[in-house]
Amino acid sequence: MSDTFFGPDFNQLQRQDPEIAAVVMSELDRQRKSLQLIASENFTSPAVLATLGSTLSNKYAEGYPGKRYYGGCEEVDKAEVIGIARAKELFGAEHANLQPHSGASANVAVYQAFTKPGDTVLAMSLPHGGHLTHGSKVNFSGKWFNVESYGVRQDNELIDYDELREIAKRVKPKMICSGATAYPSLIDFKTIRDICDEVGAIMWVDAAHFIGLVAGKAIPSPVPYADVVSFTTHKVLRGPRGGMILSKAAHAAAVDKAVFPGMQGGPIMSAVAGKAVALKECATQEYQDYAKKVIVNAKALAAALEKEGMRAVSGGTETHLALIDIRSTGVNGKVADERCGRAGISLNKNAIPYDPETPAVTSGIRVGTPATTTQGMGVAEMSDIAQLIARAIRDGEDENKATSIRNEVHALTAKFPVYPR
């Protein structure tokens, strides 16, 4: 074993702060034993985790490689340069910025780069699958900008591109955003590009949920069409928690100025390095196979839940997540979420299009397959998981039955261990 100091020393943490050490261990135990079906979560690699706990965390690096406001950035510059090159190559992008602390931070930077407070932005409605940063009144985007919303058709629950074009022509937005947090179908980026060109709008794609599938060449990329693409680096991408922005070269200066000094100070260099590691992993055949399996598993899980009497919104999924209408069970999303939690199944309540329930209650649940696919589960396990979810929703109020289901969940996850060493 090398004597080189690397960073993380769990034994030292246990000695110095046993309370926090206990939390770290109990969370690892939860991740190992429970079913992780949150569509925005995944298990990042030990290599990525290694960067996050490294001495790169110590370095303050305001600015960009070669143009920092502090000395001593020669080494961390290397990590960022490597990461930028990998992002540009992986996505075929003209420009990449790895510094945003999160997906929401990246979105703030996009607004700052291309709009001014009071400008009109057209984005997907939150109740129809959009994100808080796409114009919610409780978010900066809804408070500082005039956000008009488009949604999905009531008959097929797919984006209504005719409505989108009609609204765009009427309100003449400065920017049009596509992308969502609970939309299981593919987005027609060419049509949105055409609409943007018709009204002279910037085309922004918030690809946070599906960018990992793009990286794995499992679904079409928005990069050739969009002026700017923002996303998180976790979720399907399987990197550290953080954000990233890709753009056309013509917008590079505006994007970089919006991130720093416009939106944040120094980047977290350990996270930047972690993003670089994840991008290298994404360029492998192994990752491409993984991304395709994520979709196969999501389709299988949605179909299996329909066999249990529930309804998959928009008829199923073409991505990593499925939105499930559970009204047929007689249980709302909030209660289903709680019952599944007691049974060792982590998922989330979620509004469905035209939901009669409030956002705090909902008529649906959202399930995703990035984490279970990372564990090595396949179509057969998706059928088992659907049965466990159905039983938990139906019987999870009974503590004895919840315990029985939880034991079955633990038996299943034990076959596919997370971080086994």
Residue linked to tokens 């780069």: 113
Q: How confident is the model at residue 142 (pLDDT cuts 50, 70, 90)?
A: confident
- Rounded Cα distance between 57 and 77, Å, is 13
Q: Identify the active-site residue in 51, 232, 317, 413.
A: 232
For residue range 381-411, list pLDDT tens digits in order: 999 999 999 999 999 999 999 999 999 999 9
- Catalytic annotation on 232? yes
- Rounded Cα distance between 175 and 343, Å, is 44
Dig out the tokens for 102 from the structure. 């999160």
**Interval 122-147 mean pLDDT:** 90
Q: Identify the active-site residue in 60, 88, 191, 394.
A: 60
Q: What's residue 5's pLDDT? A: 80
This prediction has a pTM of: 0.96
More confident residue, 277 or 136: 277
C-beta of residue 84 within 8 angstroms of C-beta of residue 242:
no
Q: What's residue 76's pLDDT? A: 97
Residue 319 is classified by DSSP as S
- Rounded Cα distance between 206 and 179, Å, is 5
Dig out the tokens for 168 from the structure. 């765009």
- Catalytic annotation on 60? yes
Q: Identify the active-site residue in 157, 160, 206, 381.
A: 206
* Phi and psi torsions of 236, nearest 5°: -60, -30
- Catalytic annotation on 241? yes
**Interval 8-35 mean pLDDT:** 95
Q: Identify the active-site residue in 41, 62, 188, 194.
A: 62
Q: Identify the active-site residue in 33, 165, 241, 280.
A: 241
Delineate the domains of the chain, giving CATH numbers in brackets: 55-282 (3.40.640.10), 286-414 (3.90.1150.10)
Q: Identify the active-site residue in 59, 86, 193, 235.
A: 235
Segment among 4-13, 97-106, 250-259, 300-309 with least mean pLDDT: 4-13
* Phi and psi torsions of 96, nearest 5°: -140, 140
For residue range 188-238, list pLDDT tens digits in order: 999 999 999 999 999 999 999 999 999 999 999 999 999 999 999 999 999
Q: What's residue 420's pLDDT? A: 86
- Rounded Cα distance between 385 and 41, Å, is 17
Distance linking the first and last C-alpha atoms of the chain: 16
